[in-house]
Amino acid sequence: MRVLKFGGTSVGSPESMRGVANILKNEAESLVVLSAISGTTNRLAEIAEYFRSNQEHLALKEIDVLEGEYKIFIDELIQDAVILKDLTAILDARFIDLKRAFVKLQPAELERSILAQGELMSTSIFHRYLKSIGVENHLLNALDVLRLKSDLEPDSEFLKSALSQEVNAKPGLKIIQGYICRNAFGEIDNLKRGGSDYSASLFGAALSAEEIQIWTDIDGMHNNDPRYVTGTKSIERLSFNEAAELAYFGAKILHPSSVHPAHVANIPVILKNTQRPEAKGTRIDMMGSGTGIKAIAAKDGITAIKVKSGRMLLAYGFLKKIFEVFDWYKTSIDMITTSEVAVSLTIDQNDQIEHIRADLEKIGSVEIDENQSIICLVGDELQELPGLAVNAFSALKEVNIRMISFGGSKHNISVLVDSKDKVKALQALHENLFQS
């Protein structure tokens, strides 16, 4: 069996949904994972924020607008009058619930519960659309099978047994929501923005699927970020390690955690374009396609922290004390470099920064710079390639490099730059590494 995930733009219009149905023609036994209709999760986040800031009238107004758009969507999509009536009633109930959520739920749960509505609605719509064109299928509920443990990791054992049970009980095509899950308290939660890729990988691993396909709006992983660089090209084949580094370091086509479950279960991941199903896309598997730089990615929102010891040399235990601070505030470190008297490191989450600063100041003097970007060159066995680092850095002669990390993994070289220099750096590296 295969798992196929379709992202927001792939289900973003009645026409796109018809395209997805077409792709599923020969997928009689597959599990189909859907995102919310494109734009919906952002709109729901806005609605939740209006509720949170006591601007209930704005929230209700936005819900009405969204409801109107969904009505137009389903009217255009579904010809069968009985199924359309049934679906209209289901969506009506969802929008009524959305308006009442404010009264019924506590603030923290309110936001997560509102955010979940996008995937619940897109799967309801697609399930009934397929029925209306004579394609039998079952609608599963991700909230019944995917839950997080108290350490926020997915409960893989539970998923395996609960999802297998559902799948075995319901032969044929199955539809399920990406992104949404329950937390350790049983409340509605999610896998963070872009999390449907992660859901697909978790479901694929739980079912020992033969393949996980991620269908999106581009023909696979490109060798640089197409949002900032022109002339990027699709990569035919990547190893799990390469894909994981790219996803983690900002290639938005894959959620940062989405490669790991497929990698552990050794299930190939295929990235495909819904608008051009005939294009080859990218295959991610254990083998990959040999050494060399495959792609460049950038991750924004990075904070650089430098801690300088009061002594002439880094004392024994200095690093341990620093790491303990980050451990305490559950903040993971991406890059790290050390010198005779100082340590520089980067983090990608800022919510505890003032506590972290206060604790680090007990150890040494602290400098913090926000708005940094990590630029990452990815490829297997990069250390084996003589001259590669020199070539890469010569491309960056116009850019002020704040940190360099090479050798931490065999699959990447990373540099830290001010975010205002990111596009210039991506373009210069692209020209130097892929076009000359």
Site of interaction with ligand ADP (CB under 6 A): 7-10, 35, 194, 216-218, 221-222, 225-227, 251-253, 295, 297
* Identity of the residue, 167 or 253, whose beta carbon is nearer to ligand ADP in the bound complex: 253
Going by DSSP bridges, is the β-strand pair 173-177/137-139 parallel, antiparallel, or unpaired?
A: parallel
Name the binder of 39 from ligand ASP, Mg ion, ligand ADP, none, CB < 5-8 A by kind: none
* Under rule CB under 6 A, residue 8 binds ligand ASP: yes
Cβ(240)–Cβ(259) below 8 Å = yes
Q: What is the DSSP letter of 208?
A: T
* Identity of the residue, 39 or 434, whose beta carbon is nearer to Mg ion in the bound complex: 39
Cβ(379)–Cβ(293) below 8 Å = yes
Beginning with the edge strand found earlier in the chain, give each strand of the sheet holding 211-216 in spatial order.
137-139, 173-177, 31-34, 2-6, 211-216, 269-273, 282-285, 237-239
Cβ(287)–Cβ(382) below 8 Å = no
* Under rule CB under 6 A, residue 11 binds ligand ASP: no
* Identity of the residue, 95 or 215, whose beta carbon is nearer to ligand ASP in the bound complex: 215
Residues 81-120 that bind ligand ASP (CB under 6 A): 118
From the list 166-174, 188-196, 281-289, 352-360, the region that binds ligand ASP by CB under 6 A is 188-196
* Under rule CB under 5 A, residue 194 binds Mg ion: yes
How far apart CA 37 and CA 134 sit, in angstroms, is 22
How far apart CA 254 and CA 21 sit, in angstroms, is 23
Of 11, 33, 36, 295, the one binding ligand ASP (CB under 6 A) is: 36
Q: Which two tokens stand for residue 136?
A: 């039998």
* Under rule CB under 6 A, residue 12 binds ligand ASP: no
Cβ(415)–Cβ(403) below 8 Å = yes
Of 10, 41, 273, 309, the one binding ligand ASP (CB under 6 A) is: 41
Q: Which two tokens stand for residue 75?
A: 């009217």
* Under rule CB under 6 A, residue 178 binds ligand ASP: yes
* Identity of the residue, 284 or 305, whose beta carbon is nearer to ligand ASP in the bound complex: 284
From the list 1-9, 67-75, 259-267, 318-326, the region that binds Mg ion by CB under 5 A is 1-9
How far apart CA 41 and CA 53 sit, in angstroms, is 18
* Under rule CB under 6 A, residue 303 binds ligand ASP: no
* Under rule CB under 6 A, residue 282 binds ligand ASP: no
Cβ at position 433, least distance to ligand ADP in Å: 14
H or E segment at 272?
strand 269-273
